């Protein structure tokens, strides 16, 4: 069995933190095409690949680490500590437009991919007041 996609990350740092965490636990993994520097690659994210027989263990490690971290973040609205993850479906084009040069990337992506391509975007919801954030509050 070969490598399979475990998770796609929107930024290099988050992808490499997950990679390091999994490697420390003995998981055989890598970031696919990490050194590619193309507009299309930046738009599609960083793909964390895991050896097929280790997927379930890798998913559990990532899930637990993220849950523990979210317990430490305070909500700027109610000051309660603790967030939950909510996945929102967005069109690929609307997500890409948020990037620098996003309109150009979105146009190129539309020409090269099927129209209507969607992606799951992570949002964070305060477990106390329910306020939703696109990014974790700092």
Q: How far is 129 from 36, CA to CA, in rounded Å?
A: 41
Q: Answer whether residue 73 shows pLDDT above 70.
A: yes
Q: Are residues 55 and 101 in the same domain?
A: no
Q: Are residues 83 and 64 in the same domain?
A: no
Q: How far apart are the first and last CA of the chain?
A: 41
Containing 120, the helix (H) or strand (E) segment is strand 118-126
Average pLDDT over every residue of 113-123: 64
Q: What is the DSSP string of 31-94?
A: EETTT---HHHHHH-EEEEEEGGGHHHHHHHHHHHHHHHHTTPBPTTT--B-EEEEEEEEEHHH
Q: Answer whether residue 112 shows pLDDT above 80.
A: no
Q: How far is 17 from 7, CA to CA, in rounded Å?
A: 13
Q: Are residues 62 and 88 in the same domain?
A: no
Q: Answer whether residue 60 shows pLDDT above 60.
A: yes
Q: Are residues 53 and 16 in the same domain?
A: yes
Q: Are residues 100 and 60 in the same domain?
A: no
Domain limits for position 135: 77-138
Q: Are residues 18 and 45 in the same domain?
A: yes
Q: Are residues 82 and 125 in the same domain?
A: yes
Count of domains for the chain: 2
Q: Answer whether residue 38 shows pLDDT above 50.
A: no
Q: Are residues 54 and 18 in the same domain?
A: yes
Average pLDDT over every residue of 104-131: 71
Average pLDDT over every residue of 104-126: 66
Q: Are residues 24 and 81 in the same domain?
A: no
Token pair for residue 106?
């979105």
Looking at 48, 70, 92, the residue that finishes a domain is: 70
Cβ atoms within 10 Å of 62's Cβ, excluding its own: 19
The residue among 107 and 2 whose pLDDT is bigger is: 2
Q: Are residues 4 and 64 in the same domain?
A: yes
Looking at 70, 101, 126, the residue that finishes a domain is: 70
Its pTM stands at 0.67
Q: Are residues 64 and 94 in the same domain?
A: no
Report pLDDT digits (tens) over 46-58.
889 999 999 999 9
Residue with tokens 């993220």: 66
């Amino acid at each position: 069995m070969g490598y399979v996609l475990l998770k796609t990350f929107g930024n290099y740092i988050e992808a490499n933190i997950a990679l390091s965490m999994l490697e420390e636990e003995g998981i055989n993994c890598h970031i696919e095409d990490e050194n590619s520097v193309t507009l299309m690659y930046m738009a599609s994210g960083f793909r964390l690949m895991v050896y097929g027989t280790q997927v379930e263990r890798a998913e559990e490690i990532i899930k637990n680490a993220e849950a523990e971290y979210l317990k430490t973040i305070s909500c700027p609205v109610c000051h309660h500590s603790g967030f939950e993850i909510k996945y929102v479906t967005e069109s690929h084009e609307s997500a890409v437009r948020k990037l620098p040069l996003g309109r150009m990337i979105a146009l190129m992506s539309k020409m090269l991919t099927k129209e209507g391509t969607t992606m799951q975007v992570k949002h964070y919801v305060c477990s106390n007041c329910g306020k939703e954030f696109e990014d974790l509050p700092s």
